[in-house]
């Protein structure tokens, strides 16, 4: 079986940032009020401005995002376990779906929790380019995946040296209107969080990161929670990025630089648990989901 791993993508190098932002905004122009005459020129201008800001984030983490490289590592590990040929195709960054000259049997989104804003956008793009294909909608309920998350948190607790930590499970935010429209994203993450945290006798909550744009977004934001915890007398905070599989700009900059500065400014001890995508539990979880899908078909 040939399996396509897909994701919206991420620029690897700073020179790719502007084109990534342009591709994304142009693709969703109907939804953001930019489907107007001269849309390409308008969106290109927006992308140039936004890219200048994002380049600063890349500079702060060494000038490169590892997301695509790490996802390729996952693909190779799962291929070894399943014997299936697996390739990676992104919506808005290299390797681009539209440049993929390959016939595949199954689509596996590297979003473990489904959302119309992420998973479905990838599936729409694939339908436009390749027609209807069988796909995995979401896979966060796989027991090995839950164990992988728990192990990452356990490792973070050991590495932090904290004695009485408060755990924040950080989730990428979405506009509230998406959830109000029936998207299961928030509910699924809360169910995942509950299952993960059964293994720990520690106080915890879910908070949100990566908000951008206007309107109401899912909250509370991580910085808001940090401020509240400080006012409640909490001293130690461990953050884990529940909605991600691999390290990226939103973990390496937003959580490790921006939010750390907030926490330290409040006098909090702060540690961010790492995403160990090389832990065999993750590739075993994905392989199990794919093999079960193959048996069903």
173 and 197 in a single domain? The answer is: yes
- 85: confidence class by pLDDT, cuts 50, 70, 90: very high
d(CA 92, CA 94): 7
What domain count does the chain have? 2
Residue 127 lies inside a defined structural domain of this protein: yes
The pLDDT value recorded for residue 295 is 66
- Domain-located, residue 72: yes
What is the rounded average pLDDT for all residues in the chain? 95
- pLDDT tens digit string along 157-187? 999 999 999 999 999 999 898 999 999 999 9
Are residues 122 and 189 part of one domain?
no
pLDDT of residue 40: 92
Backbone angles phi, psi at 196, to 5 degrees: -65, -45
- Residues 116-126 pLDDT 10s: 999 999 999 99
Shared domain for 8 and 128, answered yes or no, is yes
Residue 277 lies in a domain: no
Residues 101 and 208 both lie in one domain: no
CATH number at residue 214: 3.40.50.1400
If asked whether residues 25 and 112 sit together in one domain, one would say yes
Residues 118 and 216 in one domain: no
Judged against a pLDDT cut of 90, whether residue 28 lies above it is answered with: no
Q: Between residues 213 and 138, which one has the greater pLDDT?
A: 138
> In terms of DSSP H, where are the helices of the chain?
17-27, 39-60, 67-82, 119-130, 143-160, 176-180, 185-197, 222-231, 249, 259-265, 280-296
Does residue 205 register a pLDDT over 90? yes
148 and 131 together in one domain: no
Rg (CA), the chain: 19
| Confidence label for 260 from pLDDT (cuts 50, 70 and 90) | very high
What's the confidence (pLDDT) of residue 35? 85
Does residue 11 belong to any structural domain of this protein?
A: yes
The overall pTM is greater than 0.85: yes
167 and 220 together in one domain: yes
**Could you give the CA distance from residue 151 to residue 266 in angstroms, rounded to a whole number?**
29
- Boundaries of domain holding 249: 143-272
pLDDT at 213: 67
The pLDDT, as a whole number, for residue 296 is 61
């Amino acid at each position: 079986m040939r399996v396509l791993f897909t994701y919206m993508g991420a620029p690897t190098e700073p020179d790719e940032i502007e084109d990534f932002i342009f591709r994304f905004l142009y693709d969703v122009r109907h939804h953001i009020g930019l489907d107007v005459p001269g849309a390409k020129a308008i969106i290109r201008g927006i992308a140039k401005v936004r890219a200048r800001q994002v380049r600063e984030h890349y500079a702060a983490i060494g000038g490169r995002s590892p997301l695509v490289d790490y996802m390729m590592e996952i693909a190779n590990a799962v291929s070894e376990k399943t014997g299936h040929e697996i390739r990676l195709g992104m919506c808005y960054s290299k390797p681009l779906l539209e440049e993929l000259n390959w016939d595949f049997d199954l689509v596996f989104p590297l979003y473990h929790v489904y959302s119309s804003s992420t998973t479905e956008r990838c599936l729409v793009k694939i339908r436009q380019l390749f027609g209807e294909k069988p796909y995995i909608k979401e896979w966060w309920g796989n027991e090995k995946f839950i164990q992988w998350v728990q192990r990452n948190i356990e490792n973070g607790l050991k590495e932090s040296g904290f004695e009485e930590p408060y755990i924040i499970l950080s989730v990428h935010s979405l506009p509230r209107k998406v959830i109000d429209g029936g998207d299961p994203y928030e509910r699924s993450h809360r169910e995942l969080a509950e299952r993960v945290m059964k293994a720990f006798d520690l106080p915890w909550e879910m908070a949100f990161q990566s908000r951008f744009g206007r309107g109401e977004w899912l909250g509370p934001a991580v910085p808001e929670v940090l401020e509240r915890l400080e006012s409640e007398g909490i001293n130690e905070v461990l953050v884990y990025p529940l909605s991600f599989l691999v390290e990226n700009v939103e973990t390496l900059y937003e959580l490790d630089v921006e939010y750390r500065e907030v926490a330290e400014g409040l006098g909090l001890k702060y540690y961010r648990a790492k995403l160990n995508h090389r832990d065999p539990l993750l590739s075993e979880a994905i392989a199990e989901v794919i093999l079960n899908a193959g048996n069903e078909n």
